[in-house]
Structure 1
């Protein structure tokens, strides 16, 4: 499954338009800015929280570029917004890294290694995008305190198998076609034209969900 293209629209504006007052962004429109997911449910529902799930892949360059923008956005969110990363398990070279995500979470090294994994794959080349072995991945996480043997075991465990199936099912049910994709409360799939646009639409949908609960 391929990653979506990030489009930047450049408008040609007459010189006299520079003096015109700026207008507020248009209200997001269903079918253009987001898709309503029939019968959709959050990936990990929690009472009182509005969930924003990101279907992502460590092997996705767009996800790597999005990560610092998304991280800054997360820090601004109120306590009632729950952010949930969901690793894409599309098969092929996606799945070992999805397993790595869940193993890192189990061994409690995820928080300090998440950003570094993107850099290892896309900047330093410490890890290959394709044909990576579990041992290579485990060696990377050893640098963050994980025992390599325990890490490989966690990647191959039945518990991780179930999480991979769950992540794959969530991506299928919500209609994910590429990464990164944001899903709000399992009900809305965001169709942003850029990182900032995706987050603008997400903020709108989060506010809608919050208001609906009140």
Structure 2
């Protein structure tokens, strides 16, 4: 999967090399355009940005600080959505956790904690019982968590994730979708620009995203 391939690239990148800034990214090189653009939820002049991610994905964990910084920089220019790719199928436990936290209004408080638990504390959160135990130990009320976890709204969204990721042609993480049609991933940007440094790769990826947000905004 692309998340594992990107993690391997990132783990072995130690040398800094010069690269051409992708300020004018090329379709089919720095990014892809979906043949069937998807509807967006952003309103007015805002450009929709979707991050397909997974909590267990090392590359997603690596991208998280740069992505959050980019979101703050863009400000009111964008409307951001996060979608957990269901690697384990229609009942993916990690995606189930994300949707439960989202429904409880706890994402701002707990999203980074999940990444820290998996990638820093090395906790296994790949099964329902592991996740429920972690949630309770980290201060979430068990009754409220389980009520939301088993709710119709959360379980319905969980079952639809495979359909959604299929519509966007996403099979790996992290993948960014801009304006329902432009597809960007750090691994593609790195390969296209022959970047061998993690920091430069993240910088180049956000530069491509900047350009695509500007491109999308110009058509609104």
Q: Same fold (TM over 0.5)?
A: yes
Which TM-score applies when normalising by structure 1? 0.82
**Alpha-carbon distance in 2 for matches of 1:118, 1:43:** 27
1:17-166 correspondence to structure 2 within 5 Å: 25=22, 27-42=24-39, 44-91=41-88, 95-125=92-122, 127-130=123-126, 132-134=127-129, 136-142=130-136, 145-166=139-160
In structure 1, list runs of 5 or more residues that go unmatched.
Answer: 14-21
Q: Deviations over 1:125-152 (max 9, x none)?
A: 2x3054x234x32333335542113213
User: Which residue in the other structure is 1:5 paired with?
Assistant: 5
| Structure number with larger C-alpha Rg | 1
Candidates 158, 172, 181, aligned match of 2:166: 172
The runs of 5 or more residues in structure 2 that have no matched partner are 191-200
Over the aligned positions, Cα root-mean-square deviation in angstroms equals: 2.7
Instruction: Tell me which residue corresponds to 2:211.
Output: 204
- Length-normalised TM-score, structure 2: 0.80
Instruction: Tell me which protein shows more helix as a share of its residues.
Output: 2
Q: Is the 8 A contact 1:52 1:185 kept in 2?
A: yes
For the residues of structure 2 that align with 1:108 and 1:40, how far apart are their CA atoms?
A: 29
